[in-house]
Structures are given as structure tokens and as C-alpha cells.
Amino acid sequence: LWGQYSSDGTHSDSSFFPLYGYGRNGALDTVPAATVRFATYGKHFWSLPACWYRNEVRLAPAGGTDTNAMARTYVRKHGFFPLWTYSSESNPGKNTRDVDASALLLLYNYTHTVTPATAHAGVDEYARSSVLWRLWHHERSNDDVSVDIFPAITYDRKGDNFKRVSFLWRFFRYERSQAGTKLDLLFIPVKR
């Protein structure tokens, strides 16, 4: 009553609700017929207590002058709650990529996003990783980097040669920029 299986050679599905589900929709490099506008190829799987896997490619019209061009978006996800989760979605034609990962819920967290260049701006790349939310936190946006280490250590670097290292705000702070250097010791400005 709760189980089902179907197959037509290239596509197959099986499940036994609520224990597992599995689907196969052809190979990732499958070229669809000219009349197909949207399609999904690859494999997906889920099972209880909380395990999942997905390795698929989604095809959709690319837009633009070539009405027959198809854009491929690669999707990869896997995880085992609460041990880890991983999700990646990339589109080589548009030069985009989004990655999210975590281990042991908030023990470790990672995010990476790349967006393509536009007429107004270049490629935008953003990455963030952290351990226990803010015990250790690293963030990078293009050439700008920021690192926070609990309880009170910070490091910042920007693309215009700006650098700053501090401990307990101004208990110790060293800052270098195009305007010069600054140094604070024991909350007292030593150099300006």
C-alpha cells in the first residue's frame, strides 16, 4: 500500500513511504529533444531518519537571441541531520555559483556565492565561514577580509591597502591606511 516502483528505461522511481524515496531521470549530460523546454536529469534519494542526496541538472531556456539555447543549472545536495548539510547550485553559462554547508548544526557553517560581472560592476564573490556562530568568523567579499576570534580579536583588510588588527577594541589596535598608521595601547592613542 505504501510502496511503489515505476520504470520506463531512462526514468525510474521507487519509494516506501515514510522510509525512503529514490528517483533516477537519466544521465546528467542528457541532451533533450528539440521540443522539450524544461527538464531535470540526475538522481535523488531520501530516507528516514534524515538522510538525503540529490545530484541533478535542470534545463531551461537560456534566453537571448538563440531561442533553442538551453541553460544548465547543476544542483548537488546531501546531508545527514544533524551531522552535516551541503548544498551547491551552479550555472556555468551565467558564471554563478552558490554553496552552503554546515556541520553539527552551528558547529561549522560555510557559504560561498559568485555572481557574474554586469555592465555596472565586475564579478562579485562572497565567502563566509564560522565556528560556533562567532567563536571564529571569517568573511570575504572580493578583496575585503574580516576575521573575528572570540572573545575580542579582530582583523580587517580591504583592497585599498587598509589593515587593522585589534584586541579588546583599543586595548591594542594597529591600523594602517592610505592616511597613515594608528596605534593604541591600553586604550591610549600612541600614534596618530
Residue appearing with cell numbers 530516507: 47
Asked if residues 49 and 62 have their Cβ atoms less than 8 Å apart, the reply is no
The mean pLDDT value of the chain amounts to 90
Helix (H, G, I), strand (E, B) or coil at 101: strand
Per-residue pLDDT reduced to its tens digit, 1-47: 688 999 987 889 999 988 999 999 988 888 888 788 899 999 999 99
Of the chain, the percentage scoring pLDDT greater than 90 comes to 59
* CA end-to-end distance (rounded Å), the chain: 78
pTM (predicted TM-score): 0.79
**Residues 125-159: tens digit of each pLDDT:** 999 999 987 899 999 999 999 999 998 899 999 98
**C-alpha span between 134 and 77 (Å, rounded):** 25
> Residue 2 has which C-alpha cell?
505504501
In DSSP terms, 181 is beta-bridged to 176
- Report the pLDDT value the prediction gives residue 66, as an integer from 0 to 100: 65
> Which residue's C-alpha cell is 533516477?
24
- 3-state secondary structure labels for all residues of 40-82: EEEEEEEECCCEEEEEEEEEEECCCCCCCCEEEEEEEEEEECC
Closest CA to 34 of 61, 63, 73: 61
Spatial distance between the Cα atoms of 87 and 110, rounded to a whole number of angstroms: 10
